[in-house]
Amino acid sequence: MKIQGKIVDETNQPIEEVIISSDAYKDIFTTTDSNGKFTLDNDKITAISPIKISYVGYKDQFPLAKELNGKTIQLKENINALDNVTIFTAGSKPTTLETETNPNFLQKYKTPITIISSIVLVVAGYFLIKKAVK
């Protein structure tokens, strides 16, 4: 069966690199393009096959293939609060990045990739998040 569709966020913006996979066959998968569109084409997939839709920072969804085909699926954010993040590097003391409790904190970092990039920049010596403690 050939499945085509589009994945968007809660503001209806397309999400790139969302993983669309067969829940039964782990080797059958694809990712969305820059417009949030995808095509998954495999004879093992039937109309009642569960399809897994996953992207970091969003709740996984498991629609049946027939429910997904030709549709636009909206992913919901899955924000889990962290007290802090500790980064361990060889030959140095651990660095702890304290997260801000303000719910608008993540608004500065729109995607999980941006958050990870920000943490990488902190490790590289740039002070981008509220507080770094050695």
Pick the CATH number of 2-74 from 2.60.40.1120, 3.40.30.10, 2.60.40.10, 2.120.10.30: 2.60.40.1120
The residue ranges of every structural domain in the chain are: 2-74, 84-133
Q: How much is the pTM?
A: 0.61
pLDDT score, position 5: 96
For residues 9 and 111, give the distance between their C-alpha atoms in angstroms, rounded to a whole number: 11
| Position 94 confidence tier, pLDDT thresholds 50, 70, 90 | low
| Position 66 confidence tier, pLDDT thresholds 50, 70, 90 | very high
51/120: higher pLDDT: 51
For residues 51 and 61, give the distance between their C-alpha atoms in angstroms, rounded to a whole number: 8
- Burial of residue 52 (number of CB atoms within 10 Å: 0-12, 13-18, 19+): middle
* Residue 131 scores a pLDDT above 90: no
